[in-house]
Structure 1
Amino acid sequence: MSTKFDFTNAVSDQREAKDGWCKGGYTCVCSRCHKSYFGDKRSWSCADCAYEGSNEPASYECKHVWYDPTGTGSNIFCRHCAEPAPASFYPGFTSSEPPLVLSVAEDAVIAERRRQVEVEGFDDRHDDAAKSNAMALAAAVYAIPDHYRYLDCEGFGGGRGSIRRMLWPWDDGWFKPGDRRRELVKAAALIIAEIEAIDRAKK
């Protein structure tokens, strides 16, 4: 059964393409050392292994995560090794256990979560230091449609002021609204961050 890949420790590299390595923004698994990395979707080696000069991939069975970039079900391939999906993934196939295919929306949320960590610097240490439910509250603000964010919250136990001002956990400068899809992608990624923090706290 295909499972979602844990890309928590994936690393980026900007070296030029060589021997199975090519830079890019996709989460992949190296067929030599089995570590996760960010690279081109067609690459099969991390940069370190490629530049060490080993041309023979280690024995490795990819834990496929299938991706449908068009959302049409006509061109499904593995997010890690770029292997085309088998015929059983296409319309007309009946199975009691449907395959896992990342939609365009799911892929956008994963990419946003990585951006929050790699670009904004909101790593595990940062998130663990945040006040309780801060990321969930921020997600709620992004998830609420814009015209509701600025309703007066008087009478709801929050005093005068907008719902956004009542819920937003950080300085106003960190609130960066966009188009509706972008806001929902941010909300979903922040929810993932909150869940990850809860899971770490249980360890």
Structure 2
Amino acid sequence: MKNGVELIAAERQRQIEQEGWTPEHDAEHDSEELVHAAKCYASAAIANTYSKRNVTYAGYRPGEKAPNQWPWQGSWWKPSADPIRNLVKAGALIAAEIDRLNRIKQNESR
């Protein structure tokens, strides 16, 4: 079984190879979109737990449309019923944002 870091790295690689979310594409998201999307998936992970008690978390209940904070079209909102999968997606989005910010910092230091 892969650990959390391995799962996140594999998801990030999948996003690049299968979805086409390359570093160049990520560079276009300069209004914190990647962080907001990660926050939505992390909230979905928590909501998966709360849903067993019929509670809405952070404005989201599993099975509903994308949260208001979701930065893109609703069709791109693809939460899982598995909280671990949602956390992996959140982690991969955070990793993409860290890489984006590091590239900016590197370019500024040249």
TM-score, normalisation: structure 1: 0.42
Structure 2 partner of 1:122: 21
Q: Matched residues in 2 for 1:174 and 1:163: separation?
A: 9
1:175 correspondence with 2:77: yes
Match of 1:186 among 79, 89, 97: 89
The answer as to 2:101 corresponding to 1:195 is no
2:66 and 2:77 in contact (8 A); partners too: no
Deviation at 1:131, TM superposition (A): 3.4
Q: Which runs of 5+ in 1 are unaligned?
A: 1-68, 70-102, 152-161
- Write the distance in 2 (CA, Å) between the matches of 1:176 and 1:104: 22
Residue identity (%): 40
| Cα offset, 1:149, TM superposition | 3.7
Runs of 4+ residues deviating >2 angstroms = none
What is the CA deviation profile of residues 118-141 of structure 1, one whole-angstrom value per residue up to 9, with x for unaligned ones?
100000110001132110100000
Q: How large is the RMSD of aligned CA atoms in angstroms? A: 1.9
What displacement does 1:164 show?
1.9
Hey, which of these two has a bigger chunk of strand by percent? 1
For 1:130 and 1:163, the matched residues in 2 are separated by: 19
* TM-superposition CA deviations, 1:153-191 (whole Å, max 9, x none): xxxxxxxxx9921x1110000010001110000001100
| Structure 2 equivalent of residue 135 of structure 1 | 34
TM-score (norm 2): 0.75
Q: Counterpart in 1 of 2:10?
A: 111
Partner of 1:150: 59
Task: Supply the AA of the counterpart residue of 2:100.
Answer: A
Structure with greater helix share of residues: 2
CA distance in 2, matches of 1:175, 1:163: 6
Please identify the structure whose Cα radius of gyration is greater. 1
Is the 8 Å Cα contact of residues 150 and 163 (structure 1) preserved in structure 2? no
Matching residue of 2:51: none
Report which structure shows greater RCO (CA 8 Å, sep ≥6). Answer: 2
What residue identity is the alignment partner of 1:190?
Answer: L
1:173–1:163 distance in 2 versus 1, CA, 3 Å: closer
d(CA) in 2 for partners of 1:105, 1:163: 25
Query: Which ranges in structure 2 are unaligned for 5 or more consecutive residues?
Result: 48-55
Q: Is the 8 A contact 1:149 1:163 kept in 2?
A: no
The match for 1:20 is none
Q: Over residues 61-111 of structure 1, what are the superposed CA-to-partner deviations in whole Å (9 max), with x where a residue is unaligned? A: xxxxxxxx4xxxxxxxxxxxxxxxxxxxxxxxxxxxxxxxxx622111110
